[in-house]
Amino acid sequence: MHFLAIAIGPHVQRQLAFWGTRTRLTPYRKYVTADELEHHQSYVRRFPVDGVDPDDIAAVLRWAEAESLASEGVGQDEQGWYFWTTENWKARWDYWTVGGRWSQHLIIREGGVAVRADDEFYMGAPDPQRTELWEQAPTSERLHAAQTLKRHIDFDAMQRRAEESAEQQWNGYQAELREGRRDSLMDRHINGFTREQYLARTTWHPAYLVIDGLWHERGDLGLRADVSDERAAEWTAFVTDQFARLPDDTLITCIDCHT
């Protein structure tokens, strides 16, 4: 699944690094529930594994958790069975790219500039003095980009686009329902909301905001806002406030994250 995150400031790769599945932590104990143990043992009984006795819990755990098992192995204490792992329990993505499905998410003001879409300088902060890294919009035209400085973004235009898109999606969905047709993706995305709720939730704001390497999240991944109306409104206000506080020369980067 892909979702939109927006990184604030330079060193995008460094900011995202801690939140990836490939980032390793200091070895820690991960406890296994009784249901998980029973599942592993039942599987080995049904589909025997060479050298693994289903009644030998330590052996079963070493087999079942082989991919994430640290060298410290497995053990048992008063809390139950556990295995040592370096798996990143805070991980939010397994891979990412700048732009991707959101390569045109930012609407640039007339005459503004943005990082070229085919540029390779995505991992840091492209030097504003190196004109070859930046593209300038022709007079009376707008660029759509994934990375630029805050002062070049037309947030009002982005909000208008989000509202128009939401209105079109809502009307299209309702038309399909009247005709007895249902798109499974749109059904999941819209069904259960009133028109007012859907329009209020469908904004330009990302599912995640990354500032100084810290992740802030709405509470879902953005495909469907499975959060309360209050949380959706709170998140929109939080992101809006964060952007309002940023200096105009702050680098803004749209990230296509996969999980």
Which portions of the chain are predicted below pLDDT 50?
A: none
Report pLDDT for 40.
96
16's tokens: 């995202």
Report pLDDT for 129.
59
The answer to whether 16 and 96 are in contact (CB under 8 A) is: yes
Query: Cα angle at 90 between 97 and 12, to 5 degrees?
Result: 30
Largest interatomic CA distance in the chain: 74
- pLDDT tens, residue by residue, 12-42: 888 999 899 888 999 999 999 999 999 999 9
Q: Which residues contact 65 (CB under 8 A, 6 or more apart)?
A: 74, 83, 85
Q: Which residues of 130-167 are buried (b: 16+ CB within 10 A; e: fewer)?
A: eeebbbebeeeeebbbbbbbbebbbeebbeeeeeeebe
Distance separating alpha carbons of residues 124 and 51, to the nearest angstrom: 49
3-state secondary structure of 219: coil
How far, rounded to the nearest angstrom, does the alpha carbon of residue 49 sit from its chain's CA centroid?
Answer: 37
Report pLDDT for 29.
96
Question: What is this structure's pTM?
Answer: 0.80
